[in-house]
Structure 1
Amino acid sequence: MIGTDKMGHTYPGATVPFGSIQLSPDTDTIPYAVDGKYNPEVYKYCAGYQYDDTTIVGFSHTHFSGTGHSDLGDFLLMPTTGSLKLNPGTESNPEMGYRSRFSHKTEKAEPAYYKVDLDDYNIKAELTATTRVGMHRYTFPKTKESHLILDLMSGIYNYDEKNVWTFVRVENDTLVTGYRQTNGWARTRTVYFAMSFSQPITQYGHAKYDKTPYKGFWRKFDESKNFPEMAGEKVRAYFDFETKEDKPLLIKFSISPVSTQGALKNMQAEIPHWDFDRIKKEGQEKWNTELSKVQIVASEDTKVNFYTSMYHAFLGPTEYMDVDQQYRGLDMNVHSANGFTNYTSFSLWDTYRALHPLFNILQPDRNRDMIRSMMAHYYQSVHHMLPIWSHYANENWCMIGYHSVSVIADAIVKEILTGKEAHEALAACVQTAQTKYYDGLGNYMDLGYVPEDLNGSSVSKTLEYSYDDWAISQAAKKLGNMEIYNMFKQRAENYKNVYDSTSGFMRPRLSNGEFKEKFDPLDTHGQGFIEGNAWNYSLYVPHHPKKLIELMGGEERFVSRLDSLFSMELPDKYFEKTEDISREGIIGNYVHGNEPSHHVLYLYNWTHQAFKSHDKIRKVLTEMYKSTPDGLGGNDDFGQMSAWYIFSSLGFYPVAPGSTTYAIGSPSIEVAQIQLANEKTFVIETKNQSAQNVFVSHIEHDGIPLKKPFITHEDILKGGTLTFYMSDKPNPNYMNFN
Structure 2
Amino acid sequence: MKKVILLFLLYFSSSLWGQSRDVTEYVDSMIGNSDSRWMQFPGPAMPFGMVKLSPDNQGNVWRGGYEYKINQIIGFSHIHSWTMGGLLTMPVTGPLKIKPGEENEPDSGYRSRINHKNEKASLSYYSVLLDDYNIKAELTSTTRTGFQRYTFPKSDSSRILFDLENGSEYPYEVRWASISKVSDYEIEGFSTQSSYDEPTNLLNDYTVYFVARVDKPMKSFGTWVNGYVDTTSSICWGRHDIGAFMNFDTEEGEIIQLKTAISYVSIEQARKNLEVESGGFGWNFDAVRKYAVNEWRKILSTIEIEGGTEEDKRKFYTNLYRSYCSRTIFSDVDGQYVDMYERTQQLKDPASPIYGCDAFWNTFWNLNQLWALATPDIMNKWVESLLEYYRVGGWLPNGPPGVEYCDIMGAQHEIPLMVSAYQKGIRNYDVDKAYEAVKKTLTTQGTALSSGGIVGNRHLDVYLNLNSATLL
Give the structure-2-normalised TM-score: 0.85
Q: What is the correspondence of 1:63-82 to structure 2 with a 5 Å cutoff? A: 63-64=80-81, 70-82=82-94
Match of 2:243 among 236, 255, 271: 236
Partner of 2:112: 100
Q: Is the aligned partner of 1:165 residue 2:182?
A: no
Partner of 2:47: 17
Post-superposition Cα deviations, 1:503-535, rounded to whole Å, max 9, x if no partner, equal xxxxxxxxxx9xxxxxxxxxxxxxxxxxxxxxx
Q: Give unpaired runs (5+ residues) of structure 2.
A: 1-29, 197-202, 447-456
1:3 alignment counterpart: 32
What is the alpha-carbon distance in structure 1 between the residues aligned to residue 361 and residue 405 of structure 2? 13
CA distance in 2, matches of 1:371, 1:393: 15
Secondary structure at the aligned position of 2:260 is classed as strand
Q: Confirm whether residue 268 of structure 1 aligns to residue 275 of structure 2.
A: yes
Following TM superposition, by how much is the alpha carbon of 1:29 offset from its aligned partner in structure 2, in angstroms? Answer: 3.0
Distance in 1 (CA, whole Å) between partners of 2:179 and 2:379 is: 36
Q: CA RMSD in A?
A: 2.0
Q: What amino acid sits opposite 1:342 in the alignment?
A: I
Separation (CA, whole Å) in 1 of partners of 2:467 and 2:189: 51
Tell me: CA distance 1:295–1:63, structure 2 relative to 1, closer, same or farther (3 Å).
same
Tell me the equivalent position of 2:317. Answer: 307
Paired residue secondary structure (2:365): coil
Answer whether contact 1:346 1:388 (CA < 8 A) is retained.
Answer: no
1:200 matched to which residue of 2?
A: 217
**CA distance in 2 between partners of 1:8 and 1:97 (Å):** 25
Residue 230 (structure 2) aligned to one of 207, 224, 231 = 224
- Which residue of structure 1 lines up, in the alignment, with residue 63 of structure 2? 44
Matched, 1:133 2:162: no
Letter in 2 for 1:315: C
Which residue identity is paired with 2:33?
T
Secondary structure of 1:134's aligned partner: strand
The residue that corresponds to 2:461 in the other structure is 442
Q: Which residue of 1 aligns with 2:159?
A: 147
Letter in 1 for 2:390: Y
Q: How does 1:43-442 map to 2 (within 5 A)?
A: 43-45=62-64, 48-64=65-81, 70-157=82-169, 159=171, 162-185=173-196, 186-209=203-226, 224-233=230-239, 234-272=241-279, 273-297=282-306, 298-339=308-349, 340-381=352-393, 384-417=394-427, 421-437=430-446, 438-442=457-461
| Letter of the structure 2 residue corresponding to residue 439 of structure 1 | R
Deviation, structure 1 residue 250: 0.4
The Cα shift of 1:357 comes to 1.9
Conservation of the 8 A alpha-carbon contact between 2:63 and 2:169: no
Matched residue type, 2:56: D
Residue 400 of structure 1, CA deviation: 1.1
Tell me the TM-score normalised to structure 1 length.
0.55
Contact 1:346–1:390, Cα closer than 8 Å, also in 2: yes
Between the aligned partners of 1:417 and 1:448, the Cα distance in structure 2 is 33
Deviation of residue 140 (structure 1)? 0.5
Structure-1 separation of matches of 2:313 and 2:407: 37
Q: Is the 8 A contact 2:224 2:236 kept in 1?
A: no
CA contact (8 A) 1:166 1:180 kept: yes
Mapped to 2, the partners of 1:224 and 1:5 lie a distance apart of 38
Alpha-carbon distance in structure 2 between the residues aligned to 1:331 and 1:374: 16
- Inter-partner Cα distance in structure 2 for 1:244 and 1:429: 62
Alpha-carbon distance between aligned partners in 2 of 1:121 and 1:316, rounded to the nearest angstrom: 31
Name whichever of 254-263 and 332-341 sits farther off: 332-341
- Residues 133 and 252, structure 1, Cα contact 8 Å, conserved in 2: yes
Q: Unmatched 5+ residue regions in structure 1? A: 31-41, 65-69, 214-222, 450-493, 499-512, 514-738
What is the CA deviation profile of residues 655-709 of structure 1, one whole-angstrom value per residue up to 9, with x for unaligned ones? xxxxxxxxxxxxxxxxxxxxxxxxxxxxxxxxxxxxxxxxxxxxxxxxxxxxxxx
Report how far residue 346 of structure 1 moved.
Answer: 4.3
Partner Cα separation in structure 1 for residue 187 and residue 298 of structure 2: 34
Q: C-alpha separation between the residues in 2 aligned to 1:177 and 1:132?
A: 15
Structure with larger Rg:
1
Residue 146 of structure 1 aligns to a residue in which SS? strand
Please tell me the residue identity of whatever aligns with 2:316: F
Question: Aligned AA for 1:72?
Answer: M
% identity of equivalent residues:
33
Counterpart contact for 1:72–1:155, Cα < 8 Å: no
How far apart are 1:79 and its partner, in Å? 0.7
Partners in 1 of 2:170 and 2:375 — Cα distance?
35
The answer to whether the 8 Å contact 1:325/1:338 transfers is yes
Q: Go from structure 1 to structure 2 and tell me whether the alpha carbon gap of 1:187 and 1:343 turns closer, same or farther (over 3 Å shift).
A: closer
Give me the whole-angstrom Cα distance separating, in 2, the residues matched to 1:21 and 1:347. Answer: 19
